[in-house]
Structure 1
């Protein structure tokens, strides 16, 4: 990937937040097609920077820059889910750029060269870019503080001008006790989803940053906030373009909101 930044008008790609689902995503009759169609509509990225709900590590950590085995960070599923592969090329040049952008006084970036993509990264990518021919780098979240993650996203913004797709991968609501095989949606899940939709559409960044106190049923929708947290990296990377926000995927899967958005 070139280290020269083309003009934004010719090369800037959006930043996205997607609800990544679980390994059975591949069996859903609707969702794989939605992700595939979304990828088709996006400019083809030169590389992908993935921030997944399933990797928290401080200081900020960068995963493998060569192709290594995936991280099957789940249990109790049929064997075929552990046989999925996604041999995307590593992205060492992107890693060097991220390290440069995020390092500074009191801030360090560590390398975890044997850490492969976890299911928050590869499950959606299998559907979006099934050829696995785009370099992918995964980066950890050093905390779940929305403001810290927003700042990190801001410092990564210029990567979009180089054709890098920044992906925050989580789940718009995430409470495993609310999952329903027949897709019954609990009122608290619907309330949080509707609040989030309205906050995003009205560009109410202050409310989003303080979602734990301002959103209805926030604790029920997110007993732990790691699946909402990647949204703030996406928002930070597109802070001047909040008015471009689009709801690309909405609705519910097994009772959880699969709302996914694009900015830019």
Structure 2
């Protein structure tokens, strides 16, 4: 059966890198179909992913890294993702019924505004989220809000078939302590086959990129990435939580911090947040932004 997502993907030019990525996915599935999570698999990891805007769909190597990373894990029963692109004063969730995507970017090829990622009803996932949070926490379902590009763009690369229920949770604060506590509340979902994901960008200093020299990694990005990588490799959550005073190059790497702070939801959801992470993707892209991404057990 051809889905709306597949029908939209079929309109992508065969010469476009994303079309070739879809071919890679189809070949991979034919050769070794992804296996759906069962209780025998135990707890799913939690992920922090660096993602880009629509030009991600032109980067074949990065898409392959993201896709093949997803292939190393059992296919989750559902996905709960916190994106840098939805900040709020209180916790919100996206619509549990099929809703239009949020195309929260501008100036790109019209093909990206025709993309679809129509996932199944996420009502059961929403109930799991509500059950995980204290009764004193009000969670508002935004029935007119679909997934923004911080959610659907990386998921479209990692799970192209759009056959997994997905719910997006808003980012209610930039305070690491509160975000770690939120992640801890969500930890139990991993035992039920839910993939918990924080979506941002390890460095995101777009105003300070020298687009005339896109292959040069600026010091503010490499210094911040090295600092973060060292702390993550040591499981030093306290150091990471003090990023506002400790991280080198912060003013340029994160003029605003929403692309970094989803990391704390991921760490909070870890079985032991002080255990060193497993880095899945590193390196730099788009004028020196760090694409460091990792998972925690």
TM-score (norm 2): 0.83
Where 1:225 maps in the other structure, the secondary structure is: coil
Question: Who is 2:141 aligned against?
Answer: 111
**Match of residue 128, structure 1, among 158, 162, 166:** 158
| Correspondences of 1:77-116 after superposition (within 5 Å) | 77-105=108-136, 107-116=137-146
Report Cα offsets for 1:1-54 as digits up to 9, x if no partner. Answer: xxxxx9976331000000011111010131110011001001210000010000
Work out the CA distance in 2 between the residues paired with 1:243 and 1:154.
14
2:67–2:157 contact (8 Å) kept in structure 1: yes
Matched, 1:154 2:184: yes
Gaps of 5+ in 1: 1-5
Where 1:172 maps in the other structure, the secondary structure is: coil
Max radius of gyration: which structure?
A: 2
Q: RMSD of the alignment, in Å?
A: 1.6
Question: Who is 1:3 aligned against?
Answer: none
Work out the CA distance in 1 between the residues paired with 2:111 and 2:278.
34
Question: Who is 1:260 aligned against?
Answer: 293
Work out the CA distance in 2 between the residues paired with 1:7 and 1:208.
33
Question: Who is 1:202 aligned against?
Answer: 234
Gaps of 5+ in 2: 1-36
Work out the CA distance in 2 between the residues paired with 1:244 and 1:162.
23
1:65–1:95 contact (8 Å) kept in structure 2: yes
Question: Who is 2:106 aligned against?
Answer: 75
- With over 3 angstroms needed to count, the CA separation of the structure-2 counterparts of 1:7 and 1:73, relative to structure 1, is closer
- With over 3 angstroms needed to count, the CA separation of the structure-2 counterparts of 1:144 and 1:29, relative to structure 1, is same
Once the two structures are overlaid, the 10-residue window that deviates more, 93-102 or 189-198, is: 93-102
Work out the CA distance in 1 between the residues paired with 2:64 and 2:210.
22
Work out the CA distance in 2 between the residues paired with 1:36 and 1:178.
29
Question: Who is 1:138 aligned against?
Answer: 168
